[in-house]
């Protein structure tokens, strides 16, 4: 979604809206539009305490390490430009 240009904030807010309607326990939006996603999720009813906006992949990874338990399922969604594979690498032990 990084390629959306001027409509990016609104589309990220919509992504937050949609996420709040799903069976998602915790949302960790990362990067430039994290607050748009956060706002959208909270506007749609997601609890504030279940949304952790992270400035970057490293911050998201560190937070995930504090909350993840065996058997948890994690969806990492991001454009290639966001390098979200860094989060996966960090969770699997191959991180930076």
45 is a domain residue: yes
36 is a domain residue: yes
- Phi–psi pair at 30, nearest 5 degrees: -125, 140
Reference 26, options 55, 54, 2, 3; nearest CA is 54
Q: What is the domain extent for residue 45?
A: 2-69
Q: Identify whether the C-beta of residue 53 lies closer than 8 Å to the C-beta of residue 34.
A: yes
31 is a domain residue: yes
7 is a domain residue: yes
87 is a domain residue: no
Reference 60, options 11, 27, 35; nearest CA is 27
Which CATH number do you get for residue 47?
A: 3.90.190.20
pTM: 0.87
∠ CA 68-17-7 to the nearest 5 degrees?
115
74 is a domain residue: no
Fill in the DSSP letter of residue 29: -
pLDDT (tens place) for every residue of the chain, 96 residues total = 767 899 999 999 999 999 999 989 999 999 999 999 999 999 999 999 999 999 999 999 999 999 999 988 888 888 788 899 999 999 988 655
92 is a domain residue: no
Q: Structurally, how many domains does the chain consist of? A: 1
């Amino acid at each position: 979604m990084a390629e959306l240009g001027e409509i990016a904030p609104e589309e990220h807010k919509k992504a937050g809206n949609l996420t709040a309607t799903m069976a998602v326990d915790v949302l960790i939006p990362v990067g430039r539009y994290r607050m748009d996603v956060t706002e959208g999720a909270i506007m749609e009813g997601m609890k504030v305490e279940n949304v952790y906006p992270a400035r970057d992949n490293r911050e998201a990874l560190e937070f995930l390490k504090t909350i993840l338990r065996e058997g948890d399922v994690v969806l990492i969604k991001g454009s290639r430009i966001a390098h979200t594979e860094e989060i996966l690498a960090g969770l699997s032990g191959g991180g930076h």
